Structure 1
């Protein structure tokens, strides 16, 4: 009789940290249900299948209520318990708050915050009923500092870190654990999509997404509450953020994220 593999759900899985998280699950004995809005998720799924996982793809825009419901309906249709979920989908938008379009800022809130709360609300009752489950929520080292010229994004990641830590405490006697993943600047398409190619942070060397995902996966499976993931530089930044005053952190973020700072 074939052994039944546990099922993991990964959002934002077409590239970057999300794809690398899905790869970690595939290489460690999980089947996958992966989500992204873009068509690249189909090619990502093919690469994940090469690692031996059964992979189901759900293309849906999680920035919409219907998109999250579509994803959860597909999860429910598997009739399999979700052993692990990486709620990773997210977006950013660089630039001054006064200059950015409201629609772009609202999408950050809709995707980063609202969809994470919505999907957690759907998944967690099922996990608690099974007395088993692990949830990884992708926050950021940005959650620890005021985000000058990235104001809504940093605030969204602060929400996610607080949300993850609160859920972890609420669920401590249920058999379900919640882990906050806090990467630093990572070599993905994030900064280009956020319009930050001309910034210092957009041009500086970045962490390997595979290393970030490995740190996050290991923390999740070890049932740790949070992990600052990536390079030693990022981990040192996490330590420094605990002691530096917000005024200095905001000024440092300005130097990194202000438009034109990379010229």
Structure 2
């Protein structure tokens, strides 16, 4: 186990999937952990992570709310260790056409992926800047490179995060704090089930292993890299998206995310 005792890693969306794997990697490096999610399984994840011999605190909170973010920030401020890693991984999706989606569900996507993430990074980023050290990992997505037909709100939030990460990284370039953006593709997590997208082509297609995705992101974070796309296929998709007209990308996304497309 590497010597990082007395330093703290904070991971959101850590009850399963990429977030849990990121937390596991931080634990293997000897970091104390605060892990957060909006579901009860976060306490089970904490029990698993304690097997690595580190301190683990779980916070069940809804990061779509200001109160939920404040609850997590209070836990960070009250911890005996100095926060060195923030992995802002919490995110949710929503399938189907925009006009067919419930407005409360739409607000929840935006408040989780964007507003809550911004509030958390603002609070923790200030702590890191004051101590002149820290690393922030933001889970964006290659979805942010293309118009998300039948996933319009989610892709829009990821486009925001991708852009935000580069801007914040530049603002902090002389502060001792670095920002890294992890941009995965479709990953084998509960995302598509929770987004009601299991009947789509992308929902039924083969997906990346969350442990592999997390490893790419964690290594980039520790190396203080600016951004990383996980997986060769996703790197190709990201490169192609940069030179493809938006109207064509939107049509391609329709074929992946239209409800019922997985039955064709």
Tell whether the structures are fold-level matches, with TM greater than 0.5.
yes
Q: CA deviation at 1:3?
A: 7.0
Give the Cα–Cα distance (whole angstroms) in 2 for the partners of residues 90 and 235 of structure 1. Answer: 21
Other-structure match for 2:262 = 262
Give the Cα–Cα distance (whole angstroms) in 1 for the partners of residues 17 and 165 of structure 2. Answer: 21
Other-structure match for 2:144 = 143
Other-structure match for 2:18 = 17
Give the Cα–Cα distance (whole angstroms) in 2 for the partners of residues 6 and 240 of structure 1. Answer: 40
Q: Quick check: 1:81–1:126 contact (8 Å CA) kept in 2?
A: no
Gaps of 5+ in 2: none
1:28 corresponds to 2:29: yes
1:97 corresponds to 2:98: yes
Other-structure match for 1:198 = 199
1:88 corresponds to 2:77: no
1:157 corresponds to 2:153: no
Does the C-alpha gap of structure 1 residues 214 and 3 become closer, same or farther in structure 2, counting only changes over 3 Å? closer
- Match of 2:94, SS? coil
Give the Cα–Cα distance (whole angstroms) in 2 for the partners of residues 3 and 159 of structure 1. Answer: 32
1:43 corresponds to 2:44: yes
Q: CA deviation at 1:53?
A: 2.0
Gaps of 5+ in 1: none
1:153-207 superposed Cα distances (whole Å, 9 cap, x missing partner): 0000011111111100000000000011101000000001100011000000000
- Match of 1:253, SS? helix
Q: TM-score, normalised by structure 2?
A: 0.96
1:1-263 to 2 correspondences below 5 Å: 4-229=5-230, 231-263=231-263
Q: Quick check: 2:6–2:80 contact (8 Å CA) kept in 1?
A: no
- Match of 1:21, SS? helix
Q: Quick check: 2:14–2:42 contact (8 Å CA) kept in 1?
A: yes
- Match of 1:98, SS? helix
- Match of 2:100, SS? coil
Two-structure CA RMSD over aligned residues (Å): 1.1
Runs of 4+ off more than 6 Å? none
Q: TM-score, normalised by structure 1?
A: 0.97
Give the Cα–Cα distance (whole angstroms) in 2 for the partners of residues 179 and 151 of structure 1. Answer: 24
Give the Cα–Cα distance (whole angstroms) in 2 for the partners of residues 224 and 198 of structure 1. Answer: 36
Q: CA deviation at 1:130?
A: 0.8
